[in-house]
Amino acid sequence: MEDTIVIKCGGSVLSELSPSFFESLQAMYAQGKNVVIVHGGGPEIGQMLKRLNVSSEFVNGLRKTTKEVLEVAEMILAGKVNKQLVGLLQQYGMPAVGVSGVDAHLLEAAPIDLTKLGYVGEVVKVNSNFLKALLRSRYIPVISPIGTDENGQKYNINADTAAGAVAKAVKAAQLLFVTDVPGILQNGSVVEHATVEAIEQMIEKGIITGGMIPKVKAAAAALSEELDEVMIVSGKTPFYANGQLYGTSIRKEVGVY
């Protein structure tokens, strides 16, 4: 859909989003852009699991998800974090509507590897018609990354993966990963431009680790004819000034800047 921007808000930064973040959103929305938000909540899920004495581990940035972990993930993402973010957007005057990937079969999912990861899903289909209907009415959909399969089994989907799939499905013109770091860091400085090949090498060399892995993989997978650049930016500091975004820009290859 024309002039659509998908913004992924990381759980790492949700409680610290600066007023400038909401003001940038307001400006984009007021300009007539269609804004879609996908949120994470990894740290909050982790805290609740700890309180409940349920252990969980990460494999390449993805949380191994047992039945119990899945229940907590859905509760935190769709119950707590989603409604907090919707409330904040409404305070800034934006017409936010919170849904999880379960609503209207928004995110149809399939297991990545049941033995290795449990109920961790990948997105096989997005109900883009539902999203487009909301956008046409000028709502801002706020999506929690829980999906279902045809049998009603739910899956915990990494929020970066979900955002990438949503961006592809609605043919977004922009995809932004808002996180707690100002982009991909190498030796303490922000990598301003990265190609898909460079990203793969940075993962191999151990420069990109943990939660940054699903982010850059989702960015690379989302690149298409409609979407030739994905940005990773910080939600703690202003990332938008003079019509320019500050952070890491990811493109398919060099020579297209």
Ligand X SMILES: Nc1ncnc2c1ncn2[C@@H]1O[C@H](COP(=O)(O)OP(=O)(O)O)[C@@H](O)[C@H]1O
Of 235, 254, 134, 148, whose CA–CA distance to 196 is shortest? 254
Burial class (CB in 10 A: 0-12, 13-18, 19+), 51: exposed
Q: Which stretch binds ligand X (CB under 6 A): 121-129, 148-156, 167-175, 177-185?
A: 177-185
Told to check if 234 binds ligand X by CB under 6 A, we report no
Least CB distance from residue 152 to ligand X, whole Å? 28
Query: Could you tell me which of 162, 173, 109 has the C-alpha nearest to residue 135?
Result: 173
The reply to whether 3 belongs to the active site is no
181: contact with ligand X by CB under 6 A: yes
DSSP codes of every residue in 101-121: TTGGG-EEEEES-HHHHBSBE
Question: Is 42 a residue that touches ligand X2W (CB under 6 A)?
Answer: yes
Residues 6+ apart with CB under 8 A from 75: 48
Catalytic residue among 42, 101, 164, 247: 42
Whether 42 sits among the annotated catalytic residues: the reply is yes
Q: Which stretch binds ligand X2W (CB under 6 A): 38-46, 83-91, 165-173, 192-200?
A: 38-46
Pairing of strands 4-9, 174-179: parallel
| Cα–Cα distance measured from residue 25 to residue 23, given in angstroms and rounded to the nearest whole number | 5
Hey, what are 121's tokens? 């899903």
Torsion on CA atoms 139, 126, 157, 185, rounded to nearest 10: -70
Q: Does 144 bind ligand X2W (CB under 6 A)?
A: no
Residues pairing with 251 in the sheet: 195
Tokens of 148: 């279902």
Both tokens of 133, joined, read: 């209907």
- Of the candidate spans 27-35, 111-119, 142-150, 173-181, the one that interacts with ligand X by CB under 6 A turns out to be 173-181
Q: Which does 62 bind (CB under 5 to 8 A by kind): ligand X2W, ligand X, none?
A: ligand X2W
- Exactly one of 215, 217, 235, 236 is catalytic; which is it? 215
User: Is 208 a residue that touches ligand X (CB under 6 A)?
Assistant: yes
Which residues bind to ligand X, rule: CB under 6 A?
10-13, 40, 42, 160, 179-181, 184-185, 207-212, 215
Site residues (vs ligand X2W, CB under 6 A): 10-12, 40-42, 45, 62-63, 73, 120, 145, 156, 158-159, 211
Give the annotated binding-site residues for substrate. 41-42, 63, 156
Can you say which residues are annotated as belonging to the binding site?
Answer: 41-42, 63, 156
Positions marked catalytic = 8, 11, 42, 160, 215
